[in-house]
C-alpha cells in the first residue's frame, strides 16, 4: 500500500463496530462479506493499512443504520 493511497470504502466500513448489522439485507452486502473475509490477512501484510483501519474503526460509519423504504408507485403521487 502506498503512503497516500486511499483505503477501500468497504474495508473501512467493515472495520467498524456493528458493520455486519449495517450491511445485512443491503444489495452490496456481498462486498462487505468479501472485505471482511480478507481484512485480517490484508492488515497483517500492510501495516499502513492496519493503522488506517484502526483509526477508521473509531469513526462514525457513513452507512445509515436504517434503510429508507421509498415507494415510487404512481398511486402515491399527488
Q: Is the pTM of this model over 0.85?
A: no
Whether residue 73 lies inside any domain: the answer is no
Per the prediction, the chain carries an average pLDDT of 82
CA atoms 14, 20, 26, 29: torsion sign: positive
DSSP secondary structure code for residue 72 in this structure: -
Span 2-12, mean pLDDT?
85
Q: How many domains does the chain have?
A: 1
Q: Identify the domain containing residue 6 by its residue range.
A: 1-61
Q: Distance between CA 71 and CA 52 in Å, rounded?
A: 38
Can you state the angle between helices 29-45 and 47-57, rounded to 10 degrees?
130
Radius of gyration of the chain (CA): 16
Whether residue 20 lies inside any domain: the answer is yes
Whether residue 68 lies inside any domain: the answer is no
**pLDDT: is 50 or 27 the higher one?**
50
Instruction: Give residue 61's pLDDT.
Output: 87
Considering all CA atoms of the chain, what is the largest pairwise distance in Å, rounded to the nearest integer? 56
Whether residue 2 lies inside any domain: the answer is yes
Amino acid at each position: 500500500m502506498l503512503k497516500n493511497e486511499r483505503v477501500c470504502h468497504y474495508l473501512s466500513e467493515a472495520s467498524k463496530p456493528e458493520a455486519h448489522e449495517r450491511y445485512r439485507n443491503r444489495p452490496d452486502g456481498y462486498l462487505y462479506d468479501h472485505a471482511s473475509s480478507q481484512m485480517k490477512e490484508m492488515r497483517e501484510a500492510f501495516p499502513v493499512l492496519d493503522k488506517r483501519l484502526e483509526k477508521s474503526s473509531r469513526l462514525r460509519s457513513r452507512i445509515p443504520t436504517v434503510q429508507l423504504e421509498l415507494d415510487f408507485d404512481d398511486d402515491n403521487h399527488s
